[in-house]
């Protein structure tokens, strides 16, 4: 292993994700949710009940994380009005928020990149810090721009950020979409019980994606990326499986987040819209982790002058912005390269989009291939491993020993399974239609709710293939 690879590996080892949290795909969370839901509908003070539940939910992460979150929330709450009066306060507060993020998430990476090693004992990233820092910062910027109003109540402000349905891994909610709903809860308005069926259906869909699909793919993906692919075909299969693992994992979490919110009469922003069916890289990002993409567009890309000026200027802004978006996912060069590579793909479409569009299905296939190819940077432990893996994908020397089954019949089954994953993706697109929602609303009732609760119960009861926390919890 050369020095750079060793340094990247050391950096990864020293920066660990938080493993202590309440996970949506567990039986104890189902009991927690049932208890909170019962109290929510039986008792007055719905906003307070959700706030208390959210505090309990986050406190499992431990004292340090809870205190940090509390301090950041308090400071942001305290400086809302100064920000509204004078935008100079905004810069101070943003420096504080992003300073915390950099300190807790990137200090090992930055120190290692600078060639110093201060952190022998390693760093544990506070749970959900990337998400709540982004949400709070968006809120402050919106206040500064006059697009949001400060919260007068600390409780409402705290629930705005701490709601356990989106606390750890988003969606990153905006004031305009979420604050009125929080205010409604605290004002004692009706909690929209007609969405309970939809909420339960989304929870079941999320659990199917996480427990049945993402967790089942995880051991195979681990093998491919740990041992390295033995052939070009196995390398593509490994990347393809990871592409679907991370999609099912994160979109499964997001579906559950949406579903949980619906159970309490809240509506969160949709985070995924079948990204692998999109025809261009730009469209991919409009369908993948939508709340992060729009955050980056509204608070980075546009303010930095993206979409204006010469092509060269736009290209520079896009590369910087996508590089930062990549780094948001983790403190590693691989994430930076992943983001920049996406920027280059978007630029390619800007240059040759008209010609590529003539390919029709070919354009979709090309986008899909690029997405799967770039996932290698996201998943590989370091840059060297990623490059070796990609080399194998294009026929270079085998990067490792992990291959497809020797028997032709079994190999064919694996390929068929890969195609089936795409088919599931397409099937999901058919589920997310206005018509399907109307049908669900029409048949909602005790029978449907019993069925969905039962399915969710069996899903969390299933034996876990391995201890596989949600991937995006680490960001």
Partner 1 sequence: MTVLRSIFRFLLGLVAATIVAELVLQINAATPLWQVLPVPTVMFYGPDPDSGFSHRPNVSGIWTAENRTHVRISSLGLRDRERAFKRSEAVRAIVIGDSIIEAVQVEQPDTATAVAERILSAKRPGAEVINLGLQGVTPAVQVARLQSIGLALQPDVAVLLVTLDWFLSDTIKDDSLTPGYKRNADGRYELSYAFRNGRGYKFRTSQGGAFVYWLLDHSLVARVINARRNAGWFAEWPKPAEHPPELTSGPQDECQSARMARQRALWVDGQPAEAAGILDAVIRDLSKISRDNKLPVVLVMRNIGLGCEQFTELRKALTDAIEKRLAAAGLGFIDFDGLLLEKNGSPVVDRLHGFGKNLGSGHLNIGGNQLYGEIIAAIIDEELRKRER
Residue range at the interface with partner 1 (CB under 8 A); choices 25-33, 39-47, 99-107, 388-396: 25-33
For residues 365 and 461, which CB has a smaller minimum distance to partner 1 in the complex? 461
Asked if 406 interacts with partner 1 (CB under 8 A), we say no
Asked if 457 interacts with partner 1 (CB under 8 A), we say yes
Residue range at the interface with partner 1 (CB under 8 A); choices 246-254, 283-291, 434-442, 447-455: 447-455
For residues 303 and 454, which CB has a smaller minimum distance to partner 1 in the complex? 454
Minimum CB distance to partner 1, residue 124 (Å)? 11
For residues 219 and 307, which CB has a smaller minimum distance to partner 1 in the complex? 219
Asked if 211 interacts with partner 1 (CB under 8 A), we say yes
Using CA atoms, how far apart are residues 239 and 231, in angstroms rounded to an integer? Answer: 12
Binders of partner 1 among residues 214 to 243 (CB under 8 A) are 215-217, 219-220, 222-223, 226
Length of the chain: 475
Minimum CB distance to partner 1, residue 20 (Å)? 4
Asked if 249 interacts with partner 1 (CB under 8 A), we say no
Asked if 172 interacts with partner 1 (CB under 8 A), we say no
- Give 309's contacts (C-beta < 8 A, 6+ positions apart): none
For residues 9 and 448, which CB has a smaller minimum distance to partner 1 in the complex? 448
Asked if 422 interacts with partner 1 (CB under 8 A), we say no
For residues 215 and 363, which CB has a smaller minimum distance to partner 1 in the complex? 215
Task: Name which position in 52, 283, 356, 453 contacts partner 1 (CB under 8 A).
Answer: 453
Minimum CB distance to partner 1, residue 222 (Å)? 5
Minimum CB distance to partner 1, residue 406 (Å)? 13
Asked if 71 interacts with partner 1 (CB under 8 A), we say no
Asked if 27 interacts with partner 1 (CB under 8 A), we say yes
Asked if 389 interacts with partner 1 (CB under 8 A), we say no
Binding-residue total with partner 1 (CB under 8 A): 41
Q: Tell me which residues touch partner 1 (CB under 8 A).
A: 19-23, 26-28, 60, 211-212, 215-217, 219-220, 222-223, 226, 410, 413, 417, 445-455, 457-458, 461-465, 467
């Amino acid at each position: 292993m050369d020095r750079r690879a060793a340094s990247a590996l050391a950096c990864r080892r020293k920066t660990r994700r938080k493993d202590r949290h309440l996970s949506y795909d567990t039986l104890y969370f189902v009991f927690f949710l049932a208890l909170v839901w019962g109290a929510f509908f039986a008792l007055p003070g719905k906003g307070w009940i959700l706030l208390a539940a959210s505090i309990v939910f986050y406190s499992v992460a431990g004292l340090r994380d809870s205190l940090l979150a509390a301090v950041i929330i308090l400071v942001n709450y305290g400086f809302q009005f100064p920000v509204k009066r004078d935008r100079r306060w905004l810069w101070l507060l943003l420096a504080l928020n992003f300073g915390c993020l950099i300190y807790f998430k990137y200090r090992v990476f930055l120190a290692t990149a600078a060639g110093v090693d201060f952190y022998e004992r390693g760093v544990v990233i506070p749970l959900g810090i990337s998400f709540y820092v982004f949400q709070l910062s968006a809120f402050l910027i919106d206040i500064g721009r006059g697009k949001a109003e400060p919260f007068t109540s600390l409780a409402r402000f705290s629930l705005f950020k701490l709601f356990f349905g989106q606390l750890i891994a988003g969606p990153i909610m905006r004031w305009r979409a979420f604050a009125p709903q929080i205010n409604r809860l605290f004002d004692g308005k009706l909690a929209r019980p007609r969405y309970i069926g939809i909420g339960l259906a989304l929870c079941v869909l999320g659990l199917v994606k996480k427990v049945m699909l993402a967790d089942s793919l995880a051991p195979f993906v681990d093998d491919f990326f740990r041992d390295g692919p033995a052939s070009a075909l196995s390398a593509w299969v490994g990347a393809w499986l990871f592409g679907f693992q991370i999609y099912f994992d994160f979109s499964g979490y997001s579906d559950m987040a949406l579903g949980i919110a619906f159970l309490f009469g809240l509506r969160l922003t949709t985070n995924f819209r079948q990204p692998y069916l999109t025809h261009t890289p730009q469209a991919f990002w409009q369908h993948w982790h939508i709340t992060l993409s729009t955050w980056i567009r509204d608070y980075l890309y546009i303010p930095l002058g993206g979409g204006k000026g010469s092509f060269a200027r736009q290209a520079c802004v896009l590369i910087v912005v996508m590089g930062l978006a990549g780094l948001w996912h983790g403190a590693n060069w691989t994430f930076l390269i992943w983001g920049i590579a996406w920027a280059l793909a978007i630029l390619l479409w800007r240059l040759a989009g008209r010609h590529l569009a003539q390919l029709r299905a070919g354009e979709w296939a090309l986008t899909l291939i690029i997405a799967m190819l770039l996932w290698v940077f996201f998943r590989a432990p370091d840059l060297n491993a990623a490059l070796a893996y990609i080399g194998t994908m294009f026929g270079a020397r085998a990067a490792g020993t992990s291959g497809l089954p020797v028997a032709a019949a079994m190999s064919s089954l694996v390929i068929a399974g890969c195609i089936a994953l795409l088919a599931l993706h397409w099937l999901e697109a058919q589920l997310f239609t206005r018509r399907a929602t109307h049908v669900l609303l029409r048949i909602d009732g005790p029978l449907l709710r019993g069925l969905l609760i039962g399915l969710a119960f069996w899903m969390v009861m299933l034996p876990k293939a391995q201890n596989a926390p949600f991937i995006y919890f680490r960001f």
